[in-house]
Each structure stands twice: as C-alpha cells, then as structure tokens.
Amino acid sequence: MRGCICPHPPLLIPEIGGASLAKVEATVRGMRALGNDLGEFETAVVISPHTPGYADAHTIKVAPRLSGDFSGFGCPQVSFSFENDPALVDLLLALAGGDRTVDLVPTEDELLDHGVLVPISFLHPRRLVSLSIVNAYSKHRALGQLVRRCAEELGRDVVFVASGDLSHRLIPGAPAGYDPCGAMFDEAVVRAAETGDLASLAELDRSLVAGAGECGLRSFIALGGFLGDDAVVDPHVYSYEGPFGVGYLVARFGRPEAQAEG
C-alpha cells in the first residue's frame, strides 16, 4: 500500500501564488516529484482537516462526482472534478457500521475544500474519496486501518493522501504567532517521516502538539493506520520548509509504482 503527506497552502496554485511561488520552490518541486513517482492510479483517499465534518464522527462524501474550485481565493477559474469510488465508499460505510470501531457518516456534499484540491492538483487519480477528521487524535488510526481493509478486499490501487500542514508558529509573525514548540514539533514529524515511524506520531506530547498550532497531525496518524508495516517501505521525504512560519512537508511511503508491489 502507498500513501503520502501533502501540504495544502493555496499559494502552491500558480494563479494564486504568483511571485510567492519562488519562496516555496522546494515544496512545488517536491509535489511535482511526488506526482511523477506515483503516476496514474485508481483511487485517492484524501483526509483533510478542512473538510466539513463532526467533532466525534468522520464524514465521507457519497455524491457520484466531487468538485471544487478556488473561488474563495480569487481564482474561480481553477477548478477540479473527480468521479467518486462508490464501491469503496459503500464498503467503508458497511464495515464501519458493522464493527463500530469507526464512526463514519455519509454526506451528500459534493464540494471539495482546498485541503483536498491543493494536493490533488499535483496527483493523477482516476477517482477520489473524501474523508474528514474528528477531534480525538486516537480515532484516526482505526480509520486508516479500515480504509486499508476495504482497499484490500476490493483489490483497489489506493493511495492514501494525508493532507495537512505542520506547525503554524515557526517564526515571529507566523499566522498563529510564534511558539518554540513549533520547530520541535516539525522536527519530530519530519524525523518520523524519514524513518517511516508514523506510529510514533500518536505518542507525541500533547503540550508540544498544542504549542505547535498544527493542522495535519490527525491526517498523518490516519495515514499510519492505513500503511501499517508498509510505512517503513521506502519512506522518502521530498521537501520540508516553512518560509511563512507554517511547516510544509512532502513525503511518500510505500513503493512508488503499484506494479512494483509484491
């Protein structure tokens, strides 16, 4: 199984970023390299902290087609549309309801938020499944495990996309202010990504996490659940930077090409 960590600042979209793209050149290169390495694949399952949901239940979009644009960032002409994967969605809902380890609620909402659109603009899936986060960090590993179980049962070529930025408090003037926990948190996450030790992310000190002002940790924990032992198969960090005080990490786990899997 394959998965990736992707940042989601809208400025990665050229029409939005403009001259600021030069300041996130490493991230842009990393995302392009990630897209090239993964190639075309069947289904992207994307979990985004910006997807509307509930405090105690994950949502999954069931509309046959999912679409979105960047009108909220002044660029309505930049839009994306994907077919959903109804067989995978139906199985996820059935198994979640059967064993009660994951609270998963269907929603007819077909709109994709920027936390999905930014990463997916660099990737090449034929279909897309959209999931939301919940408040409790601990619940996300079970969600990732459920996605893997369903993908294996269907024989799906699924890439699990963990959308999220790291600390928002890296430097004075950062969007959420400055906190020294920001750099320490980011160092811990990058180190876990480099080694594939995603399971350790669930054990990070909660005061460190709170001080960092992050938005992606829940997504990363879900990715660890999905990958399981595959997290240590060829982990690769493409880039990490935080020029605006927000940490952007691009990383891949699992063999780049699906056909290379045994």
**Integer Cα distance of 131 and 53 in angstroms:** 9
Does 29 reside within a domain?
A: yes
**Residue 42, domain extent:** 2-256
The number of distinct structural domains making up the chain is: 1
Does 252 reside within a domain?
A: yes
Q: Tell me, what DSSP letter sits at residue 204?
A: S
**CA nearest to 220, candidates 150, 174, 164:** 164
Q: One digit per residue, pLDDT tens: the chain, 262 residues?
A: 999 999 999 999 999 999 999 999 999 999 999 999 999 999 999 999 999 999 999 999 999 999 999 999 999 999 999 999 999 999 999 999 887 789 999 999 999 999 999 999 999 999 999 999 999 999 999 999 999 999 999 999 999 999 999 999 999 999 999 999 999 999 999 999 999 999 999 999 999 999 999 999 999 999 999 999 999 999 999 999 999 999 999 999 997 776 544 3
**Contact yes or no for 221/137 (Cβ under 8 A):** yes
CATH number at residue 35: 3.40.830.10
Single-letter amino acid, residue 180: P
Does this model's pTM top 0.85? My answer is yes
- Torsion angle, alpha carbons of 228, 94, 132, 259, to 10: 40
Does 261 reside within a domain?
A: no
**Integer Cα distance of 162 and 165 in angstroms:** 10
Does 262 reside within a domain?
A: no
Single-letter amino acid, residue 174: A
**Contact yes or no for 252/238 (Cβ under 8 A):** yes
**Integer Cα distance of 126 and 12 in angstroms:** 22
**Contact yes or no for 176/213 (Cβ under 8 A):** yes
The structure tokens 């034929």 sit at 126
